[in-house]
Amino acid sequence: MSTSSIDAKMFSQMFLAAAYNLKSNKEWINELNVFPVPDGDTGTNMTMTITSAVRELEGLGDDFDMMSLCKSISSGSLRGARGNSGVILSQLLRGFCKAVRDHAEIDVPAAAAGMDKAVETAYKAVMKPKEGTILTVAKGVAEKSRELVNAGETDIDKYLTEVIEYGDQVLASTPDMLPVLKQAGVVDSGGQGLIQVLKGALEGLHGKVLTAEEVLAEEEAPEEERQAEGEIPELSADEGLKYGYSTEFVIVLDRPANLWNPKTEKDFKHFLDSIGDTKVCEKDDNEGVVKVDLESNDPGLAIEKALMYGQLVKIKVENLRAAKKAKEEAAAGQPAPSQETPADAEQMPKKDVAFIAVCAGDGLAEIFRGLGVDYVISGGQTMNPSTEDILEAVEKVNADTVFVLPNNKNIIMAANQAAILSKDRKIIVIPTKTVPQGITAVINYMPDVDPEVNCDNMTQEIAKVKSAEVTYAVRDTVLDDVEIHQGDMMALGDSGILATGKDRDETTIDSLRKMVTPSTSLISVYYGADVTEQDAETFGDKVRSEFANCDVEVQKGGQPIYYYILSAEE
């Protein structure tokens, strides 16, 4: 049946279906990550961005018009945006909504105008737009949209179907635009996320009806897990515990029967073993379920992987280090540490200038606080804080001017978006892409100097820091002409892969050989949750022996996923 326009109710139905489809495919999108690291998060970030808008829709009730619907979608996605892909998605939604909000109904010309505005808004939000990404897919969709309007197309169904078909073609061509995609054998993950949004919207147009509650159902609780933290309990990673979390759940295999087979089971077990210690992974043929019991440092990785095979029930996650510490303190007659989060705490005393830093790891948080940072947001590569998280932290520090240190290239855009949305605080984002850059920025702050001058000075100083992170590969691939195998150690530098190998320490030292120059005077090593203090000190001695002309500092970072974070400074 021909459909020439859609009203606010139908637009809402399409948006909810779009969000649901993106959420359903988020793990697949995550696995399109170019770098084979255990923290691909594009699908997760885009999903959390769009579901933030869905939460806004919950408050609309049943009686709403196009203006109020567009306001909720725009506001919710902007404040909930996480990661670069999530920020770009929020800007696409914002642009589209801005163009159509004054229409009682959206016809093909209005939709095309919305697509144009979406692309314009998203491109403006990115400092250095790169083709072969979600932006390219969005631009291709908008161009096809305009072409259909000029050709006289009036049927929304045909229009959206052809737009998606063309979008798929543009997505398929992204590896030809970005060599790194071609070498890794993947299309752009953000572009794939956008296509899934459009395909979900088409399903909504075709009659798929979902409530906001259904879209949000069984969603992991990211707000609690990624809550901004002012105080992080001292949890030692070195007390005989290799892994920090015990994770148990049951997969109800409600997908096609052939999805779970001997190969699938082997691959899933191999994945679990690559991220932790698998206690149980067995299928109960009588009940059609798979029971999993795992110890690891990132429960979310196992949970998201499992969602590919069915629904999850009986989920239980325990912080082993916190439990051990609480048990020890109870035995010693001490009260367990308070679980109150800073979000429940009172506002800090008023001051002129404050600092907020983002990092993952209790050791890194203590380092930043020791340098004078007022507030630490717990997050990083595996859990990007949202624009809303940053805005809430800004309110807590209660300062006229707030410096924000993202310490991750995938958080900078969300921080910049917070700076734009902040009404009564001046937010200055120092574009720190790594933790070492963040530490350097704080050290170079001069209290008696104007904030803008400090911004320029800190930005210049962080450019002098060379950084690297050491982790493991979760799949076979080829990057920068380097052949990488699942389980290999990898050192990721500021511009790509520095070193790979089978041995963790040797791979790390090999990366330092490429970072250190005759002018390097200081090497800093921050060891993660999976490295004991003794092993870290032994490794530090190796570094001192190899680079005798440099001062070498070894400090506890406590970060997950990454065994070592390194920096080399003049």
pLDDT per residue as tens digits for the range 451-460: 999 999 999 9
* Bridge partners, 469 (sequence order): 492, 565
Instruction: Compute φ and ψ for 221, nearest 5 degrees.
Output: -90, 75
Token readout for 192 is 């794939």
Of 250, 266, 207, 235, residue with least CA distance to 1 = 207
* Bridge partners, 565 (sequence order): 469, 526
What is the pLDDT, as a whole number, of residue 332? 58
Of 158, 159, 170, 210, residue with least CA distance to 23 = 210
Residue 349 predicted with pLDDT over 70:
yes
What is the pLDDT, as a whole number, of residue 333? 54
Residue 110 predicted with pLDDT over 80:
yes
What is the pLDDT, as a whole number, of residue 344? 36
Residue 106 predicted with pLDDT over 50:
yes
User: Which band of pLDDT confidence, cut at 50, 70 and 90, is reported for residue 259?
Assistant: low
Tell me the one-letter amino acid at 250: V
Work out the average pLDDT over 152-160.
94
What is the pLDDT, as a whole number, of residue 39? 55
Residue 335 predicted with pLDDT over 60:
no
Of 361, 543, 357, residue with least CA distance to 439 = 357
Distance between CA atoms of residues 219 and 47, nearest Å? 10
Residue 528 predicted with pLDDT over 50:
yes
Q: What is the pLDDT of residues 434-480, one digit of tens each?
A: 999 999 999 999 988 899 999 999 999 999 899 999 988 877 777 77
What is the pLDDT, as a whole number, of residue 324? 66
What is the pLDDT, as a whole number, of residue 36? 61
Distant-in-sequence, close-in-space partners of 251: CB < 8 Å, separation ≥ 6? 289, 290, 292, 306, 309, 310, 311, 312
Residue 165 predicted with pLDDT over 90:
yes
Mean pLDDT, the chain, rounded, equals 84
Distance between CA atoms of residues 119 and 109, nearest Å? 16
Q: How far apart are the first and last CA of the chain?
A: 69
What is the pLDDT, as a whole number, of residue 234? 40
What is the pLDDT, as a whole number, of residue 467? 94
pTM of the complete model: 0.71
What is the pLDDT, as a whole number, of residue 74? 93
What is the pLDDT, as a whole number, of residue 513? 94
What is the pLDDT, as a whole number, of residue 279? 83
Higher pLDDT, 263 or 384: 384
What is the pLDDT, as a whole number, of residue 119? 95
Q: What is the pLDDT of residues 42-55, one digit of tens each?
A: 888 899 899 999 98
Distance between CA atoms of residues 445 and 307, nearest Å? 45
Q: DSSP letter at 158?
A: H
Q: Tokens 């279906």 — which residue?
A: 17
Residue 25 predicted with pLDDT over 70:
yes
What is the pLDDT, as a whole number, of residue 223? 41
The answer to whether 232 and 559 have CB atoms below 8 angstroms apart is no
Query: Which has the minimum average pLDDT: 270-274, 365-369, 381-385?
Result: 381-385
The answer to whether 423 and 415 have CB atoms below 8 angstroms apart is no
Work out the average pLDDT over 25-35.
80
Higher pLDDT, 286 or 355: 355
Q: What is the pLDDT of residues 53-103, one digit of tens each?
A: 998 898 888 889 999 999 999 999 998 888 888 999 999 999 999 999 999
Work out the average pLDDT over 20-48.
80
Out of 211-225, 289-303, 428-442, 464-478, the most confident range is: 428-442
Strands 522-527 and 375-378: unpaired
Distant-in-sequence, close-in-space partners of 327: CB < 8 Å, separation ≥ 6? none
The rounded percent of the chain whose pLDDT value lies above 70 is 87
